[in-house]
């Protein structure tokens, strides 16, 4: 049975990926230092996985974690644009040095495929929509720069060493287990928690900025297709739904789901944030058969239900 290594497997996307791999009967190892991931995200999976607590920025730890591994889903990172603006050195250490370590060890051990989690933030504020993979990249934050560096390393390791890599540019992933408590939390978990409490959600800017919000199950599907697909090696692919929704639309939908009417409060835009984002997903659909199964509204319903069930907020 092929062994999968999920770096960052205790994180939001990582834990959902681990769950789906186990559901499919795969053998799974997780490497996570739990700086942003949580053990409780893996509570049900723990008896069925090999867990190594350690840092991808430590080369020897990565070597230990990759023994016998066939597929690597490299999801470990220090996420968040604002976090990277506050501490660019930490973002570089985790996202660039950590990724280089993973690629070096994967090369040395003959891993069959490395799937790398990149970000739509690499496109920057290019006004052209939707975003296509061949567009020029103009990263506006240290986080975006670090993610783009990882992509370039993946491509270089494929071309120079023949290491099979696939980079996936995630577009605004949301869903159950996304941490609302961090000061760097994404918009949807923060909005849901505030509105469950009856408090106004805070919008940075005017609310007309738009995102291609992508439910986490769609991203998990893309991760595993990128492992399995015979095509696309050495490539970069958008992972989204191909749609645009403004933050004001998001709040309107949440009011509908929650049966409430709460007006947001507005504050200054954040440095490094892009104005609009939308994925062209035709390339990943054509290459791997990816199809986003869970739409925006259904994903919001599932997320709110999970937050209520787990009394988040």
What are the pLDDT digits (tens) for 105-145? Answer: 999 999 999 999 999 999 998 889 999 999 999 998 999 99
pLDDT of residue 161: 98
143-177 pLDDT tens trace: 999 999 999 999 999 999 999 999 999 999 999 99
Q: How many residues does the chain have?
A: 313
pLDDT beyond 70 at 90: yes
- Any idea where the domains of the chain sit in the sequence? 3-171+215-242+280-293
Determine the 3-state secondary structure of 146 from DSSP.
helix
Instruction: Supply the pLDDT for residue 273.
Output: 78
187 compared with 242, residue with greater pLDDT: 242
pLDDT tens across 251-269, in order?
Answer: 999 999 999 999 999 999 9
Residues 6+ apart with CB under 8 A from 152: none
% of residues, the chain, pLDDT over 70: 99
To which CATH superfamily is domain 3-171+215-242+280-293 assigned? Answer: NAD(P)-binding Rossmann-like Domain (3.40.50.720)
Within 10 Å of residue 90's Cβ, how many Cβ atoms?
16
In angstroms, the CA 61 to CA 31 distance is 9
Residue 311 pLDDT more than 80? no
β-partners of residue 198 are none
98-113 pLDDT, tens digit each = 999 999 999 999 999 9
What CA–CA distance (Å, rounded) separates 97 from 77? 10
> Per-residue pLDDT for 47 more than 70?
yes
Q: How far apart are CA 115 and CA 14, in angstroms?
A: 12
Residue 184: pLDDT above 70? no
Output the pLDDT for position 202.
94
Tell me: pLDDT of 31 over 80: yes
99 upstream amide cis, omega within 30 of 0 = no
Alpha helices in the chain (DSSP H): 12-23, 59-65, 81-86, 88-92, 98-109, 142-161, 187-196, 216-228, 247-258, 282-288, 296-309
Crossing angle (nearest 10°) for helices 247-258 and 187-196: 40
Averaged confidence pLDDT in the chain: 95
pTM (predicted TM-score): 0.95
Task: Answer yes or no: is pLDDT of 194 > 70.
Answer: yes
Residue with tokens 């769609």: 218
Pick from 121, 38, 116: which is nearest to 75 by CA? 116
Q: How far apart (Å, rounded) are the C-alpha atoms in residues 166 and 13? A: 17
Look up residue 130 and give its two tokens: 């939707």
> Within a 10 A sphere around the Cβ of 204, how many other Cβ atoms?
16
Asked whether residue 313 carries a pLDDT value surpassing 70, the answer given is no
Q: How many CB atoms neighbour CB 120 within 10 A?
A: 24
């Amino acid at each position: 049975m092929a062994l999968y290594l999920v770096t960052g497997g205790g994180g939001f996307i990582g834990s959902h990926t681990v769950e789906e791999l186990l559901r499919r009967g795969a053998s799974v190892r997780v490497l996570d230092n739990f700086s942003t991931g949580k053990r409780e995200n893996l509570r049900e999976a723990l008896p069925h996985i090999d867990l190594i607590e350690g840092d991808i920025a430590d080369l020897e730890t990565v070597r230990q974690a990759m023994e016998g591994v066939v597929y690597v889903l490299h999801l470990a990172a220090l996420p968040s644009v604002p976090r990277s603006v506050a501490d660019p050195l930490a973002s570089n250490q985790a996202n660039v040095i950590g990724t280089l370590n993973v690629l070096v060890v994967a090369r040395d051990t003959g891993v069959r495929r490395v799937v790398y989690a990149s970000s739509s933030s690499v496109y920057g504020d290019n006004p052209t929509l939707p975003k296509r993979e061949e567009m020029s990249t103009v990263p506006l934050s240290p986080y975006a720069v670090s993610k783009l560096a990882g992509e370039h390393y993946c491509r270089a390791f494929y071309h120079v060493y023949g290491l099979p890599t696939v980079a996936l540019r995630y577009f605004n992933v949301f869903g159950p287990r996304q941490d609302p408590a961090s000061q760097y939390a994404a918009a949807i978990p923060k909005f849901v928690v505030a509105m469950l409490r009856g408090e106004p959600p805070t919008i940075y800017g005017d609310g007309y900025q738009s995102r291609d919000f992508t439910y986490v199950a769609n991203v998990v599907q893309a991760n595993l297709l990128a492992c399995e697909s015979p095509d696309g090696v050495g490539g970069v692919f958008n992972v989204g739904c191909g749609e645009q929704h403004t933050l004001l639309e998001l709040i309107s939908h949440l009011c509908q789901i929650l049966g409430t009417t709460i007006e947001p409060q507005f504050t200054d835009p954040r440095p490094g944030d892009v104005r609009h984002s939308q994925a062209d997903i035709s390339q990943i659909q054509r290459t791997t058969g990816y199809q986003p199964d869970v739409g925006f509204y259904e994903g919001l319903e599932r997320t709110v239900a999970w937050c209520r069930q787990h009394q988040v907020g």
